[in-house]
């Protein structure tokens, strides 16, 4: 079949404030082909496609359809040019049936007849091999069915170019297979399909060509048949960039937080976390890498007590404390029992042996208070709410991904936000604003927060300053475990380095730091160990000092490996 | 005529007030706007109708024209109120509860000021009979059912048909459920809201007009229009946001509300005066129960429109 | 065809964007301008509605002066003015904690009525049988408990099943109204429905008849200001109102806060009911709350849910009410004129909020950066 150009992009540039999301991107799409757009999170894939779909308008460059320049200013313009995009977040009215959603907004000449619509929808479904009941309501549907509705909605409007944004992110393997069958059938029908993805195996399985984007730039477009996983990975992640982030050797790393066989289902009943097990050590930064939506958020929230887990253990180890052997242990028998479980030591830390000593001597020694042992405080914090966790004396800090929607109250000033964690302290019913104000002033001073005033609503601060306020508060309460989700997202370089410095300082203080990040270079430079998540499972834990970018990248993206391992 | 039958007919006639009021409110709520100004709008509809009839009541025009002229007056003033409400809540994105309450204050007050100035012998005496067509000569209770009663039934059924069987209705429901999605598929959200609110206001306004001119036909009638406006809002919940169900609900509400005055006449049923308020309380209690039960059962179809009470601003995502 | 000439490619006539911040003086300036515009517009409407003004346009001066006359014209009017502000403010204060929590309590009317009903019921059944002091205390407690109960019921359902609180509290108003008329039927067997003044349990007075009521509400204003701003409860209300997710993040139970706050809100409405029932009327009718439960919603909203600002907004509404009542007396129009005037001024203030929250740019003053790429 002769290849005809369906769509061309020429020198497309899009900026959001100081950030350039796409920089002079050229892209060709042919009729009857499947083009995969591959790239890491934040590389500008979705922004680029949104410009074809009429969500954004490019700052520079041209879009050509069938060789003619067109202006696409709204989704309606895109439809007029027979372009349809299936977004990651479905735009459907929950209360309507599939068919009602499909015809919503259309102004067909013939009257509105749902039976006719149902029939036509069923015909499209049959043609491409979908399984869909047109009369089923959206809220009763699985994610895969909703996606089907979105695809048919686009086909119903006669689209010739279909853009699918991360279509497989929410599907089961069987559903993915079915989706690919449909896509191939649409291709055979002469339609152009663009799939935005970061999953290598899917790219290799379904696409004809692959365009690789990195940091907003178009790196290359290659024929799928002529490339390999390794080559694609290298183009996608690029060469390792060495960042100047200091990293100290962990000292005396001991388990602080142990997660064992954690399983979590979403309220809709979808398995979000499967059999997660790991240990976070004090004095160490544990990085969590993974494509966005691989379960990182759910994992942190279930540790913080915000999501009820289905099964598994979340054990918190309070730092081992020296405790003297005292006389509750009056009887020698008890002391001996204790000795079997713990090693005794003296005040200088030297191990104590009672070997060959007389009981009376032992008793005297013990009574002097010089015989010590280390005791672990082991607390299961599974399904305890944040307040209960705090009341157990566990200092667990959490910097959530959604800074203004969860971690801070946007309409309150810095002082009042400092109080979120501590307002319960002090006087009977009244708030004591003095300590939080002092803390706020200290954070503004030490972290160089740029703010018009201490009572300016934090919503008005810039992203970097908001994050400094949030991180500053969370570390102010001397945590033993600090979890930070995407703490440098959207921050400028300077603020990012401030955050790295803060995390490192916590690590040196013996805190177990858990850092969820998206930039592999940062993860590899900052962390001691990296746990890779993929589809709600742990695909590996590697030493960040020796691991390569490609190695981690593959663990993040390769799904069939997961199949092999999953018994 | 059988006493029970005449009782039923009276409940029907009385209930038509609520059919108008709640059908109008349903249309605005389906567009995502909780219009607490409906009582005021019903008052204004009544006032508008009376004002217009006052101009032509004794002019000797053909009855058809007089009837239409009165309806036009009711529509004009109530749609004007609808425009004020939609301008404030749709274009200026004001708080719907506050705007609605202000509108009710305004409308109820203005009606009293207007009606205070009119001459009841002009606008009530002749036109009242004209609205009783085709039963104007009957002497039994069937005479209570006039043009405006049948119009109410037609409007409620038509509203249901439009909402659930036409493209316009589909678009309107989408706007009330999820304006962002409606916007994304190219529906003009603002126009849709304006239209639904104004049409809804016009329909509600007819309710006030109907109650004053037709059902009561007395000058004092306007004093209770506002209260029936609130009852209409209750009926919306009772009818689970479906106009055709207001037909059943309005009979039930009409029955409960008016039976207190009839029931004492029925031999064999002894009702103390104290029962009266309890009977009148029942519509509201039942409405609360419906509200509670539907929220506990959590059936999606029976919930208020998802974006009810929220302003839509495209750039806020 | 040149693509750039197509109609849909033109930028919209008006572009809106949400303001990030606006200086406080500017916001209040806009509101003040709105009130003044509203007054001007009232003059226009007055010409349409008032015959005497049409006959003698020169009386427009008296029209505006009457607003001041109505409120400050005599000592008696001034006391009435302050008393009415106090009652309205009391209900508005009661609703405010709920509003701050984004719980739309439209049930102030019913909560107030039930409070008044409970107080009157106590004196009706126990008056003269127990010492006066004890009776007064019991009346007050009954009023608080009655109002709290009326607030608690919708709160429980909202907390547990997410039942729409706006509609629920709205319906509770009418249940309360008919509850009052039920008791009136029982208490007044002659069917007139007018309960005579109760001799016992009148709220004590100091100095002027209204002084204590005014002082109580002033104290309540200060107390509520402190409660919302300086107590842990107030803080929790703000957090829950702003974001339920943040509340969960720090372990605040939103359900508990909703229920607790609605008990408070209802109880304070009950207090207003006590002031009306035991302090002023010593009796009760279905109109005892007189629509103030609804007006209070607007007072609270106009005052930005700030108790101190609400003193001003309550005064403004009451000034309009009393002034317009004076006008209707002087110009011989319906006694409903105050509602019309209040409605109009409210429309203007409500509309003005838009210009405080949003920035409006017209075509031609557009942002060059956005449009540069289109017009090449």
Identify whether residues A113 and A216 lie together within a single domain. Answer: yes
Q: How far apart are CA C119 and CA C123, in angstroms?
A: 7
CATH number at residue A116: 3.40.50.300
- pLDDT (tens digit, 9 = 90+) per residue, A340-357? 667 777 777 777 777 777
Q: Is A430 helix (H, G, I), strand (E, B) or coil?
A: strand
DSSP A94: T
Does residue A158 lie within any of the structural domains? Answer: yes
Select from B180, B187, B301 the Cβ nearest to the Cβ of A105: B187
Which of A15, A16, A64, A71 should we substitute to test contact with C (largest number of C Cβ atoms within 10 Å)? A71
Q: Are the Cβ atoms of C295 and B288 closer than 8 angstroms?
A: no
Q: How far apart are CA A354 and CA C79, in angstroms?
A: 90
- Is the predicted pLDDT of residue C207 greater than 80, yes or no? yes
Chain C residue numbers with beta carbons less than 8 Å from the beta carbon of A405 are 243, 245-246
Q: Cβ(C43)–Cβ(C345) under 8 Å?
A: no
Banded model confidence at residue C9, pLDDT cuts 50, 70, 90: very low
Residue C239: closest CA among C222, C219, C226, C256 = C256
- pLDDT (tens digit, 9 = 90+) per residue, A231-272? 888 888 777 666 778 888 887 778 889 999 999 988 777 788
User: Chain C closest CA to A410's CA: distance in Å?
Assistant: 8
Does residue A464 lie within any of the structural domains? Answer: yes
A91 touches chain B (CB under 8 A): yes
Q: Are the Cβ atoms of A95 and B301 closer than 8 angstroms?
A: yes
pLDDT at B264: 59
Interface of C with A in 34-63 (CB under 8 A): none
Q: Which of the residue ranges C185-199, C239-253, C279-293 would you say has the lowest mean pLDDT? A: C185-199
Select from A60, A389, A405 the Cβ nearest to the Cβ of C245: A405
Interface of C with B in 185-224 (CB under 8 A): 185-186, 191
Identify whether residues A142 and A202 lie together within a single domain. Answer: yes
Q: Cβ(B20)–Cβ(B210) under 8 Å?
A: yes
Chain A residue numbers with beta carbons less than 8 Å from the beta carbon of B185 are 75, 91, 104-106
Q: What share of chain C in percent tops pLDDT 70?
A: 92
Specify the CATH number for B3-302; select among 1.20.1630, 1.20.1050, 2.170.120, 1.10.3470.
1.10.3470
Banded model confidence at residue A430, pLDDT cuts 50, 70, 90: confident
Q: Are the Cβ atoms of A407 and C248 closer than 8 angstroms?
A: no
pLDDT at A250: 84
Identify whether residues A486 and A559 lie together within a single domain. Answer: yes
Q: Cβ(B97)–Cβ(B34) under 8 Å?
A: yes
Phi/psi of residue A197, each to 5°? -160, 170
Q: Cβ(A375)–Cβ(A342) under 8 Å?
A: yes
Banded model confidence at residue A384, pLDDT cuts 50, 70, 90: confident
Tokens encoding B279: 């009977």
Banded model confidence at residue A376, pLDDT cuts 50, 70, 90: low
- Sheet strands side by side (includes A161-165): A83-86, A161-165, A192-197, A34-38, A209-214, A217-223
CA distances (Å), A89 to each of A50, A179, C151, C306, C371, in order? 13, 17, 39, 39, 28
A445 touches chain B (CB under 8 A): no
Q: Which of A2-6, A526-530, A531-535 has the highest mean pLDDT?
A: A526-530
Chain A residue numbers with beta carbons less than 8 Å from the beta carbon of B180 are 91
pLDDT at C5: 41
Handedness of CA A148, A153, A154, A159 (dihedral sign): positive
Does residue A245 lie within any of the structural domains? Answer: no
- pLDDT (tens digit, 9 = 90+) per residue, C60-116? 888 899 899 888 989 999 999 999 999 999 999 999 999 999 999 999 999 999 999
From the CB of residue A449, how many other CB atoms can be counted at a distance below 10 Å? 24
Q: Cβ(B101)–Cβ(C298) under 8 Å?
A: yes
Residue of C nearest to B293 (CA): C163
**Considering only CB atoms, which residues of chain B are within 8 Å of chain A?**
165-167, 170-171, 173-174, 177-178, 180-182, 184-187, 300-301, 306
Residue A298: closest CA among A544, A537, A559, A489 = A537
Q: Which of the residue ranges A5-14, B213-222, C22-31 would you say has the lowest mean pLDDT? A: B213-222
Q: How far apart are CA A203 and CA B252, in angstroms?
A: 63
Phi/psi of residue B252, each to 5°? -60, -45
Beta strands at A161-165 and A83-86: parallel, antiparallel or unpaired: parallel
Residue of C nearest to B316 (CA): C18
Does residue A133 lie within any of the structural domains? Answer: yes
User: Chain B closest CA to A76's CA: distance in Å?
Assistant: 6
What is the pTM for the complete model shown? 0.85
Beta strands at A537-543 and A311-324: parallel, antiparallel or unpaired: unpaired
pLDDT at B20: 96
Chains that touch C (3 or more CB pairs under 8 A): A, B
Q: Are the Cβ atoms of C246 and A431 closer than 8 angstroms?
A: no
Q: Is the peptide bond before B134 cis (omega within 30 degrees of 0)?
A: yes
- Is the predicted pLDDT of residue C217 greater than 90, yes or no? yes
Q: Are the Cβ atoms of A416 and C231 closer than 8 angstroms?
A: no
Q: Are the Cβ atoms of B93 and C168 closer than 8 angstroms?
A: no
User: Chain C closest CA to B146's CA: distance in Å?
Assistant: 30
Q: Mark which of A451, A477, A503 sits at the end of a domain.
A: A477
Residue A22 host element (H or E): strand A19-30
Q: Is A211 helix (H, G, I), strand (E, B) or coil?
A: strand
Q: Are the Cβ atoms of A424 and C232 closer than 8 angstroms?
A: yes
The owner of tokens 């950066």 is C369
Residue of C nearest to A423 (CA): C232
The owner of tokens 């109960």 is C149
A76 touches chain B (CB under 8 A): yes
Residue A289 host element (H or E): strand A284-289
C357 touches chain A (CB under 8 A): no
Banded model confidence at residue C4, pLDDT cuts 50, 70, 90: very low
Identify whether residues A129 and A103 lie together within a single domain. Answer: yes
Tokens encoding C185: 């039927």
Does residue A242 lie within any of the structural domains? Answer: no
Domain range for A511? 253-319+382-395+479-567
Residue A244 host element (H or E): none
User: Chain C closest CA to A117's CA: distance in Å?
Assistant: 29
Q: Which long-range contacts (CB under 8 A, 24 or more apart) does A73-81 make?
A: A73/C8, A73/C9, A74/B186, A74/C8, A75/B184, A75/B185, A75/B186, A76/B186, A77/C8, A78/A52, A78/A53, A78/A54, A79/A157, A79/A159, A79/B186
Q: Mark which of A477, A511, A528 sits at the end of a domain.
A: A477
Residue of B nearest to C156 (CA): B292
Residue B255: closest CA among B73, B11, B50 = B11
Q: Are the Cβ atoms of C171 and B309 closer than 8 angstroms?
A: no
Select from A104, A114, A139 the Cβ nearest to the Cβ of B174: A104
Q: Domains (ranges, CATH) in chain C?
A: 76-318 (1.10.3470.10)
Phi/psi of residue A60, each to 5°? -140, 160
> Dmax over Cα atoms in chain C, in whole Å?
94
Banded model confidence at residue A561, pLDDT cuts 50, 70, 90: very low
Does residue A362 lie within any of the structural domains? Answer: yes
Where in chain B are the domains?
3-302
Which of B48, B104, B113 should we substitute to test contact with C (largest number of C Cβ atoms within 10 Å)? B113
Identify whether residues A535 and A563 lie together within a single domain. Answer: yes
From the CB of residue B159, how many other CB atoms can be counted at a distance below 10 Å? 24
Q: What is the mean pLDDT of chain C?
A: 88
Q: Are the Cβ atoms of A408 and C246 closer than 8 angstroms?
A: yes
Identify whether residues A201 and A257 lie together within a single domain. Answer: no
Chain B residue numbers with beta carbons less than 8 Å from the beta carbon of C174 are 230-231, 234, 281, 284
Which of C334, C355, C357 should we substitute to test contact with B (largest number of B Cβ atoms within 10 Å)? C334
Strand partners, A378: A317
Banded model confidence at residue A562, pLDDT cuts 50, 70, 90: very low
Identify whether residues A186 and A268 lie together within a single domain. Answer: no
Q: Are the Cβ atoms of B291 and C344 closer than 8 angstroms?
A: no
Residue of C nearest to B284 (CA): C171
Select from C8, C231, C249 the Cβ nearest to the Cβ of A400: C249
A104 touches chain B (CB under 8 A): yes
Q: Are the Cβ atoms of A75 and B177 closer than 8 angstroms?
A: no
Q: What is the CA radius of gyration of chain A?
A: 29
Q: How far apart are CA C179 and CA C182, in angstroms?
A: 5
Q: Exposed, middle or buried, B25 (CB in 10 Å: 0-12/13-18/19+)?
A: buried
Identify whether residues A502 and A522 lie together within a single domain. Answer: yes
Return per-residue pLDDT of chain B as tens, 317 residues: 577 787 888 888 889 999 999 999 999 999 999 999 999 999 999 999 999 998 887 777 888 888 899 999 999 999 999 999 999 999 999 999 999 999 999 999 999 999 888 888 777 777 777 787 777 777 777 777 888 999 999 999 999 999 999 999 999 999 999 998 998 888 899 999 999 999 999 999 999 999 998 888 887 788 889 889 998 998 998 899 999 999 999 998 888 877 666 665 555 555 667 778 888 888 899 999 998 998 888 788 888 888 888 888 776 53
Banded model confidence at residue C191, pLDDT cuts 50, 70, 90: low
Q: How far apart are CA B284 and CA C182, in angstroms?
A: 15
Identify whether residues A230 and A333 lie together within a single domain. Answer: no
Q: Cβ(C153)–Cβ(C169) under 8 Å?
A: no
Give the ipTM: 0.91
Does residue A138 lie within any of the structural domains? Answer: yes
User: Chain C closest CA to A306's CA: distance in Å?
Assistant: 7
Does residue A349 lie within any of the structural domains? Answer: yes
A324 touches chain B (CB under 8 A): no
Q: How far apart are CA C246 and CA C146, in angstroms?
A: 33
Identify whether residues A306 and A415 lie together within a single domain. Answer: no
Give the count of domains, chain A. Answer: 4
Which of B29, B43, B96, B110 should we substitute to test contact with C (largest number of C Cβ atoms within 10 Å)? B110
Q: Cβ(A317)–Cβ(A396) under 8 Å?
A: no
Q: Mark which of A434, A450, A477 sits at the end of a domain.
A: A477
Chain B residue numbers with beta carbons less than 8 Å from the beta carbon of C178 are 277-278, 280-281, 284
pLDDT at A500: 92
């Amino acid at each position: 079949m002769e290849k005809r150009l369906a769509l061309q992009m020429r020198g497309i540039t899009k900026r959001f404030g100081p950030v350039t999301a796409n920089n002079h991107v050229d892209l060709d799409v042919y009729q009857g082909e499947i083009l995969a757009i591959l790239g890491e999170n934040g590389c500008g894939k979705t922004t680029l496609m949104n410009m074809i779909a009429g969500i954004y308008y490019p700052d520079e460059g041209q879009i050509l359809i069938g060789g003619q320049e067109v202006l696409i200013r709204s989704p309606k313009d895109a439809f007029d040019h027979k372009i349809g995009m299936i977004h990651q977040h479905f735009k459907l009215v929950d209360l309507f049936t599939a068919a009602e959603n499909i015809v919503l907004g259309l102004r067909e000449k013939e009257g509105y007849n749902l039976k006719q619509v149902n029939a036509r929808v069923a015909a499209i479904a049959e043609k491409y091999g979908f399984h869909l009941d047109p009369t089923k309501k959206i809220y009763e549907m699985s994610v895969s069915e909703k996606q089907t509705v979105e695809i048919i909605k686009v086909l119903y409007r006669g689209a010739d170019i279909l853009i699918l944004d991360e279509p497989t992110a929410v599907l089961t393997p069987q559903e993915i297979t079915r989706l690919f069958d449909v896509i191939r059938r649409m291709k055979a029908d002469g339609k152009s399909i663009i799939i935005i993805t970061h999953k290598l195996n899917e790219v290799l399985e379904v696409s004809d060509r692959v365009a690789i984007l990195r940091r907003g730039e178009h790196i290359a477009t290659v024929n799928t048949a002529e490339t390999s996983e390794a080559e694609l990975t290298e183009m996608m992640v690029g060469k390792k960039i060495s960042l100047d982030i200091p990293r100290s050797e962990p000292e005396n790393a001991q388990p602080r937080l142990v997660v064992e066989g954690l399983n979590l289902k979403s309220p809709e009943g979808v398995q979000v976390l499967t059999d997660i097990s790991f240990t976070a050590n004090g004095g160490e930064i544990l990085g969590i890498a993974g494509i966005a939506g691989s379960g990182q958020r759910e994992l942190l929230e279930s540790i913080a007590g915000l999501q009820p887990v289905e099964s598994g253990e979340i054990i918190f180890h309070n730092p081992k404390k020296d405790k003297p052997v005292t006389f509750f242990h009056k009887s020698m028998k008890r002391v001996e029992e204790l000795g079997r479980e713990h090693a005794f030591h003296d005040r200088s830390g030297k191990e104590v042996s009672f070997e060959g000593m007389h009981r009376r001597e032992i008793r005297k020694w013990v009574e002097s208070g010089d015989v010590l042992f280390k005791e672990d405080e082991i607390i299961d914090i599974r399904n305890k709410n944040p307040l209960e966790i705090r009341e157990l004396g566990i200092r667990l800090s959490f910097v959530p991904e959604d800074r203004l929607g969860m971690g801070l109250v946007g309409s309150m000033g810095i002082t009042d936000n400092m109080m979120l964690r501590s307002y319960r302290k002090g006087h009977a019913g009244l708030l004591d604003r003095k300590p939080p104000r002092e803390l706020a002033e200290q954070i503004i001073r030490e972290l160089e927060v740029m703010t018009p005033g201490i009572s300016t609503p934090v919503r008005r601060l810039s992203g970097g300053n908001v994050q400094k306020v949030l991180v500053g508060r969370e570390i102010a309460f001397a945590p033993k475990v600090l979890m930070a989700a995407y703490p440098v997202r959207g921050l400028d370089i300077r603020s990012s380095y401030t955050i790295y410095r803060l995390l490192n300082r916590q690590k040196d203080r013996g805190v177990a730091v858990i850092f969820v990040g998206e930039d592999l270079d940062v993860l590899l430079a900052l962390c001691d160990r990296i746990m890779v998540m993929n589809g709600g499972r742990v695909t590996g834990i590697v030493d960040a000092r020796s691991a390569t970018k490609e190695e981690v990248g593959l663990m993040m993206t390769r799904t069939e490996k997961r199949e092999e391992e999953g018994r | 005529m059988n006493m029970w039958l005449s009782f039923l007919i009276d409940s029907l006639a009385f209930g038509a007030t609520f059919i108008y009021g709640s059908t109008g409110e349903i249309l605005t709520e389906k567009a995502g706007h909780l219009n607490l100004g409906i009582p005021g709008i019903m008052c204004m509809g009544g006032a508008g109708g009376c004002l217009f009839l006052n101009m032509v009541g004794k002019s000797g025009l053909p009855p058809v024209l007089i009837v239409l002229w009165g309806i036009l007056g009711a529509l004009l003033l109530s749609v004007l109120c609808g425009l004020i409400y939609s301008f404030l809540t749709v274009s200026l994105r004001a708080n719907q509860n506050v705007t609605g309450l202000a509108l009710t204050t305004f409308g109820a007050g203005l009606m009293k000021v207007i009606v205070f100035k009119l001459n009841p012998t002009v606008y009530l005496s002749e036109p009242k009979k004209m609205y009783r067509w085709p039963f104007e000569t009957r002497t039994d209770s069937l005479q209570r059912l006039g043009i405006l009663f049948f119009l109410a039934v037609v409007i409620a059924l038509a509203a249901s048909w439009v909402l659930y069987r036409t493209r316009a209705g589909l678009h309107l429901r989408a706007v009330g459920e999820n304006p962002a999605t409606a916007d994304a598929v190219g529906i003009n959200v603002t126009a849709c809201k304006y239209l639904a609110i104004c049409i809804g206001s016009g329909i509600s306004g007819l309710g006030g007009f109907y109650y004053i001119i037709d059902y009561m036909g007395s000058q004092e009638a306007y004093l209770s229009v506002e209260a029936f406006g609130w009852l209409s809002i209750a009926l919306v919940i009772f009818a689970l946001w479906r106009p055709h169900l207001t037909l059943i609900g309005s009979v039930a509400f009409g029955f409960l509300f008016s039976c207190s005055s009839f029931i004492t006449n029925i031999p064999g049923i002894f009702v103390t005066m104290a029962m009266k308020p309890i009977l009148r309380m029942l519509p509201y209690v039942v409405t609360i129960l419906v509200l509670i039960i539907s929220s506990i059962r959590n059936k999606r179809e029976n919930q208020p429109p998802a974006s009810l009470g929220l302003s839509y601003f495209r750039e806020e995502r | 065809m040149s693509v750039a000439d197509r109609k849909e490619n033109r930028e919209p006539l008006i572009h809106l964007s949400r303001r990030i911040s606006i200086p406080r003086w500017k916001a209040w300036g806009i509101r003040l301008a709105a009130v003044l515009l509203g007054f001007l517009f009232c003059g226009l409407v007055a010409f349409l509605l008032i015959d005497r003004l049409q006959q003698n346009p020169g009386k427009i001066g008296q029209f505006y002066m009457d607003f001041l006359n109505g409120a400050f014209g005599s000592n008696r009017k001034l006391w009435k003015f302050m008393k009415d502000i106090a009652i309205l403010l009391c209900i508005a204060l009661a609703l405010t904690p709920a509003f701050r929590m984004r719980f739309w309590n439209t049930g102030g009317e019913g909560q107030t009525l039930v409070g008044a009903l409970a107080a009157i019921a106590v004196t009706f059944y126990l008056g003269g049988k127990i010492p006066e002091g004890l009776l007064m205390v019991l009346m007050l407690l009954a009023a608080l408990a009655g109002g709290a109960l009326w607030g608690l019921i919708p709160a429980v359902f909202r907390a547990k099943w997410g039942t729409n609180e706006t509609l629920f509290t709205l319906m509770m108003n009418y249940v309360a109204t008919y509850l009052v008329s039920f008791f009136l039927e029982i208490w007044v067997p002659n069917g007139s429905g007018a309960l005579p003044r109760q001799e016992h349990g009148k709220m004590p007075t100091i100095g002027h008849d209204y002084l204590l009521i005014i002082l109580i509400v002033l104290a309540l204003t200060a107390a509520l200001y402190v409660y919302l701003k300086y107590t842990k409860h107030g803080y929790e209300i703000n957090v829950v109102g702003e974001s339920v997710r943040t509340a969960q993040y720090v372990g605040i139970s939103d359900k508990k806060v909703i229920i607790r706050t609605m008990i408070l809100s209802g109880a304070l409405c009950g207090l207003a009911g006590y002031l009306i029932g035991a302090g002023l009327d010593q009796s009760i009718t279905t109109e005892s709350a007189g629509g103030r439960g609804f007006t209070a919603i607007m007072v609270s909203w106009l005052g930005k849910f700030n108790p101190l600002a609400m003193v001003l907004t309550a005064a403004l509404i009451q000034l309009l009410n009393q002034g317009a009542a004076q006008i209707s007396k002087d110009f011989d129009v319906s006694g409903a004129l105050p509602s019309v005037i209040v409605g109009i001024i409210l429309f203007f203030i409500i509309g003005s909020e838009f210009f405080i929250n949003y920035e409006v740019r017209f075509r031609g003053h557009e942002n060059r950066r956005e449009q540069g790429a289109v017009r090449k």
